[in-house]
Chains A and B, each alone.
Chain A
């Protein structure tokens, strides 16, 4: 069955607002990956987290791996229309979450 749960399933935000998606596992993970898929496109790798408590930043994106290595989050600051898409996490068994679809309201 599904090893990672992602919430929320959908998120609508005004342009300029922040956005966060969460990925939760029932088991301890050795690593977690995040991907972005634009509408009509294919998934594109964003980042991989390996260490407990790890925090990585990519411009307006902040990724965190929990201390217990059972959860992770992706936070986008001041969203832009280019952030539209679905964000997926994938666990260390390459099982993907169902994704969070981000809609930006202009």
Chain B
């Protein structure tokens, strides 16, 4: 299994500011993802964080709003830029395990509130 930590665990931010969320995995993994979980909603994939190249964004998400870095196989950051109250959500880092079943592991999440 993979153990994932995220920082910060929660934050309250002002409209118009930016927040960078860090994700650290205890082992090298190929696939890392960032998800958003809005209140009462299912998880929505924001992007796949690619090591050494630009992230792959899902429809509705753009790099200017959610820049992602992945400098190595154990670490990634997601920045939520120019925040508005609609960005209030839980942001989750996720990785795929190396076993054949491709089990997916999730970090504890970062609870973001934008005022």
Chain B associates with chain A: no
Residues of B in contact with A (beta carbons under 8 Å apart): none
Chain A residues with CB under 8 Å of chain B are none
